[in-house]
Structure formats: C-alpha cells, structure tokens
Amino acid sequence: MQKQITEANLRLLIDSLLLKGQRVVGPRQSGAMVLYEPLSSASDLVFNEQPRRSAKEAFFPICEDLLEYRKNGQQIDLEDIEPSRFPETVLIGVRPCDAAAMPVLDSVFSWDYKDQFYLERRSRTIIIGLACTSADDACFCTAVGLSPGDSKGSDLMFSHLVNGGFLVESHTDKGALFLESWKDRFTEPDGSKTLPLAQPEATPFDLKKIKGWLDDHFEDPAWDSIATRCVGCGACAFVCPACHCFDIIDEGTEKSGKRRKFWDACGFSKFTNHASGHNPRDLQPKRYRNRIMHKFKYYDDKFGQNLCTGCGRCIRVCPVGIDIAGILEEIEKK
C-alpha cells in the first residue's frame, strides 16, 4: 500500500502521537551527536544525518535491568522486570541499514530460549524506515546485498519526495494498520517523484566466496596482518547494528541492587578469559578473527544470515582505521 504525507502533516502526526502519550523514538541531537532517542516534539527529528549508534538500542539497550534484589535477613527478595510492561513505541526515521539488522537479530534472541526483553520491545514497536538520499565513503550497504532504499525490517518505508514530504509504503500488517489508524494525515500518492537514492561507491561482494574462504581459514597468516592494528577498544561493536554480545553484571551492594545486561564486545581482551587465567583468544588477531568469523560465517552457519548491513559505522569510528569493507575485499580476492 502506498500513501503520501507532507512534512507539516508528519509533524502533526508525531505531535499527536506524543500528545496521546505514545513513545516516539527517532534520530535527534543528543549532546554532540545524533542518536535514536525518545522525541519530545516533532521538531526534534534530524533526518539528514545517520545517527552515530544504530537503532538496535531501541530493542537491545546499552544497559538494561534484568531484575532487582533485596536482602532480607538470610532471604533474598527478587523483583522481576516483566518485559510485557514495556511501552508501545513508534520508531521513526530508521536508516535501511539499521532496520535491516532487526530481522537478523530476531534469530538469535528468539531461537530456543526467548529473550523477552528484546522480543517484547520488537512486538511493541513499529519501525518506520527512511530511504537514504546521501552516502559517504564508508557506506557499503550495496556491497552486502542491501540498498539505500531497502525496506527489509521496516513496517513502513518513507522516501523523500522531490517537492518535500514523503512517499510512504507499507510492508507489513503493522504498517498497514498504522496507516489506517492515522489515515487523516496521509493522502493518496499524486505521482510526485521521489528524490534519487544514495549511491554508495561499493560493488557487491561475493559473500558465498568470502564465506568459503572463512570456512577453511581459521588458521591463516592473513589474520595477523588484518588485525595487528586493532587496539581492542570495542567501538566497532558498540556502533554496529548487528553486534549483540552482552555481559550480565550485578550493580549494587550485597544488600540491594540490580542485575543488568550490558553491551559487550568480542574485541575486549578479557571477553573469553577463563577463571584459571587461560584465554582461548589471548591475542588481538584472534579476537578480530572472531568478529569477522561471527559476522560472515558462524551466524550464517547457524541462522543463514550475515551480521553486517554495510552501515559503515565501524569504519568511521575505528581509531586505527580498520576498514571492514577493505578486509572483505581482500578476503574475496584470495
């Protein structure tokens, strides 16, 4: 289903949602950077800049409470967080590279044991994607099978119209229901043209070929040259839409506190350290190898998908200039 919306009507729509008490999250200025954060008014929205961190934190926050404990003599009182009480959310202005990561992450959080913290947020959130009209040197979504207009993961997809406003395309029942509920704000498409999509300068990788090499090259001198530069800061994992490693830590005292889930990164030196002091990934190249292997082989082996949407953020933030697209290109040539 296709509709159209003017910028003025979009603002009215968002402000009506907020007025109703609906939680609306979108790209907005947050300190020195643009992040996906709750909006307080439609004017907060920043549509012309890719947020510094991905949209995964709307479902898998940097830090979240899992339970609260309180000591009561020799007893412990536990309080469950009850993810079923998470608020309904409209997540708007989501870049295609961010939205596309969500169906990928669904696999790990829902296979076997269901992580309701993630899944409840997923089911209570509508994702409104926004097609990209500009790309920078780090963007490479087109190299991993996506595109700046890709609707993967989006319930509704917005595309900028040449004369202002947006073309709106519904891709799921959730999206169609939203259009129906707010039909006064949308109009039928009048045939206006959409702005040309961004064109990242990236040629498609042969991901099968890359995986083929990874299948047989756990041990290879290339890992040393690829990753000796890595300082293990974990920034790449923290800005990545698909990285999902986490830690579980108690914060508080022996008497009371919270158990919380935090983002973690396989690049950190202690990530796999055993209690005995033995560390299976004792050197940075082994840790970086895991990053590449997990993204392009292990996750594919298990769930048939890659953990990379070509958003380019890891390339932009790496303090030592590691370029994952360049590494994939190098592997592809082998």
Partner 1 sequence: MCDSNKNIYLPYLATVEEVIDETPDVRTLRLVFQDEQVRDNFSFRAGQFAEYSAFGAGESTFCIASSPTRKGYIECCFRAVGRVTESLRQLEVGDTMGIRGPYGNSFPIEQFYGKNLIFITGGIALPPLRTLIWNCLDMRDKFGDITIVYGARTEADLVYKRELKEWEERSDVQLVKTVDPGGNSPEWDGKVGFVPTVLDELAPSSDNCIALLCGPPVMIKFTLPVLEKLGFSDEAIYTTLENRMKCGLGKCGRCNVGNVYVCKDGPVFTAKQVKAMPLEY
- Pattern 240-269, binding to partner 1, x per CB under 8 A? ----xxxxxxx-xxxx-x-x-x--x-x---
The token duo for 243 is: 């990285």
Q: For the segment 150-169, give every residue that binds partner 1 (CB under 8 A).
A: none
12 vs 245, which CB is nearer to partner 1? 245
Using the minimum distance from each CB to partner 1, give the nearer residue, 274 or 333.
274
Q: Which is nearer to partner 1, 46 or 108 (CB)?
A: 108
Of residues 136, 107, 117, 128, the one with CA closest to residue 39: 128
Unique residue bearing structure tokens 């008497």: 255
CB nearer to partner 1: pick between 112 and 173: 112
Query: How many C-alpha atoms does 162 have within 13 Å on its Cβ side?
Result: 6
Binding part of the chain for partner 1, among 35-43, 89-97, 204-212, 289-297 by CB under 8 A, reads: 289-297
Q: Is the dihedral of CA 10, 13, 19, 22 positive or negative?
A: negative
Count how many residues are written for the chain: 334
x-or-dash string of contact with partner 1, 266-285, rule CB under 8 A: x----xxxxxx-x-xx----
**Binding flags for partner 1, 70-89, as an x/- string (CB under 8 A):** -x--xxx-x-xxxxx-----
Question: Quick one: which of 258, 262, 260 has its CA closest to 79?
Answer: 258
Alpha helices (H) in 20-84, listed in sequence order: none
Nearer to partner 1, 211 or 316 (CB): 211
Q: Which amino acid is at 171?
A: H
Beta bridge partners of 129: 94, 157
Closest CB to partner 1 among residues 169, 300 = 300
**Contact, 150 vs 141, CB < 8 A?**
yes
Alpha carbon 257 to its chain centroid, in Å, reads: 29
Residues 283 and 266: beta-carbon distance below 8 Å: no
62 binds partner 1 (CB under 8 A): no
Q: Using CB under 8 A, count the residues that bind partner 1.
A: 57
Binding partner 1 (rule: CB under 8 A), the pick from 154, 290, 306, 309 is 290
C-alpha angle with apex 294: 290 to 298, nearest 5 degrees?
A: 120
Distance CA 191, CA 252 (A): 59
**Which of 229, 226, 206 minimizes the C-alpha distance to 296?**
206
Q: How far is the CB of 79 from partner 1 (least distance, A)?
A: 10
Residue 72 identity: N
CB of 310 to partner 1, least distance (A): 21
Instruction: Tell the smallest beta-carbon distance from residue 219 to partner 1 (Å).
Output: 7
**Beta carbon of residue 233, minimum distance to partner 1 (angstroms, whole number):** 18
Name the minimum Å distance from CB 17 to partner 1. Answer: 28
Question: For residues 30-49, which are near partner 1 according to CB under 8 A?
Answer: none
Provide, rounded to whole angstroms, the least separation between the CB of residue 20 and partner 1: 27
Rounded to an integer, what distance in angstroms lies between the CA atom of residue 28 and that of residue 222?
A: 41
Strand, helix or coil for residue 75: strand
Beta strands in 116-226 (DSSP E): 125-130, 156-160, 166-170
Q: How far is the CB of 238 from partner 1 (least distance, A)?
A: 14
Q: Which is nearer to partner 1, 11 or 258 (CB)?
A: 258
Interface residues with partner 1 (CB under 8 A)?
66-67, 69, 71, 74-76, 78, 80-84, 108-109, 111-117, 218-219, 244-250, 252-255, 257, 259, 261, 264, 266, 271-276, 278, 280-281, 286, 290, 293-294, 297-298, 301-302
